[in-house]
């Protein structure tokens, strides 16, 4: 190799070394600059992500709070509706009890009215009943005396006794109508009672027949046998009319 060639090669080598040094410096500066930009961009993106996440979390919390409030309101509305339903049920039950009580009062009032109407209707023998009673009395082989005792001062009792005495006397029987005076403090009879006095050997067949005939009528009465010295005597006691609405 010549000296010229070596000198030229050395010059080029130095020049290239300087050029590569400059390029390295430029590359390092570029790397530092772009590295700073990249870091700043990453930090900004991280901040935006944090801000968005915080906003999303805040929105979720707000929605959760709204949902919680809505649930509480729904529970309150349900409790109010339940209370209203219970109150309505209680009112319905109370109304049903009041209606039932009103029906019971109406039934009692109707019964009381019916009993009052019955109480004021006089006891009389209807024409058809008198005809049937007269036929039975006339056809009976057992005839006798029937004493009718009507309470003194009771016009209704006397009128009924008068009807029975008349039909007895018209059919071959003997009817006696009396209004006995009772001792002071004596209890006045109530209702109608047929008393048949019995004794050994006494004939009471006419009393038994008379009871049987009266049972065919609408007259309400009780009958009983009374043993004693007046055997054969038959007495129909017509007391005051029973008061169906009197305290029992």
pLDDT for position 237: 97
Q: Is the pLDDT of residue 147 over 80?
A: yes
Kindly state the average pLDDT of the residues 185-206.
Answer: 92
Q: What is the pLDDT of residue 117?
A: 46
pLDDT digits (tens, 9 = 90+) for 68-77: 787 788 788 8
* Residue 67 in this model has a pLDDT that exceeds 50: yes
Q: Rounded distance, CA 113 to CA 117, Å? A: 6
Four-CA torsion 138, 143, 144, 149, nearest 10 degrees: -40
Percent of the chain with pLDDT over 70: 77
Mean pLDDT over each residue of the chain, to the nearest integer: 82
* Sequence spans of domains, the chain: 7-121, 127-238
**Listed residue (115, 159, 139) closest to 216, CA to CA:** 139
131 or 64, which is more confident? 131
* 41-51: pLDDT as tens digits: 667 776 776 77
Q: What is the mean pLDDT of residues 3-8?
A: 73
Mean pLDDT is highest, among 6-15, 22-31, 226-235, for 226-235
The yes-or-no verdict on residue 109 having pLDDT over 60 is no
Torsion of CA 12, 18, 21, 23, to 10 degrees: -80
pLDDT over 70 (residue 246) = no
């Amino acid at each position: 190799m010549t000296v010229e060639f070596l000198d030229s090669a050395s010059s080029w080598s130095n020049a290239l070394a300087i050029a590569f040094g400059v390029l390295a410096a430029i590359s390092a500066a570029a790397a530092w600059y772009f590295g700073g930009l990249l870091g700043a961009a990453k930090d900004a993106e991280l901040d935006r992500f944090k801000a968005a996440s915080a906003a999303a979390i805040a929105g979720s919390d707000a929605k959760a709070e709204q949902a919680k409030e809505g649930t509480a309101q729904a529970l309150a509305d349900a409790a109010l509706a339940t209370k209203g339903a219970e109150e309505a049920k209680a009112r319905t039950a109370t109304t049903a009890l009041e209606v039932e009580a009103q029906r019971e009062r109406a039934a009692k009032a109707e019964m009381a009215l019916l009993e009052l109407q019955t109480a004021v209707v006089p006891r009389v023998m209807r024409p058809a009943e008198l005809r049937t009673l007269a036929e039975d009395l006339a056809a009976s082989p057992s005839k006798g005396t029937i004493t009718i005792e009507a309470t003194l001062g009771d016009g209704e009792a006397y009128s009924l006794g008068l009807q029975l005495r008349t039909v007895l006397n018209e059919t071959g029987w003997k009817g006696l109508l009396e209004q006995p005076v009772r001792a002071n403090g004596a209890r006045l009879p109530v209702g109608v009672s047929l008393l048949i006095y019995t004794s050994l050997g006494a004939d009471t067949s006419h009393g038994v027949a008379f009871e049987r005939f009266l049972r065919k009528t609408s007259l309400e009465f009780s009958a009983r046998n009374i043993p004693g010295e007046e055997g054969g005597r038959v007495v129909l006691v017509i007391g005051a009319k029973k008061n169906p609405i009197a305290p029992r």
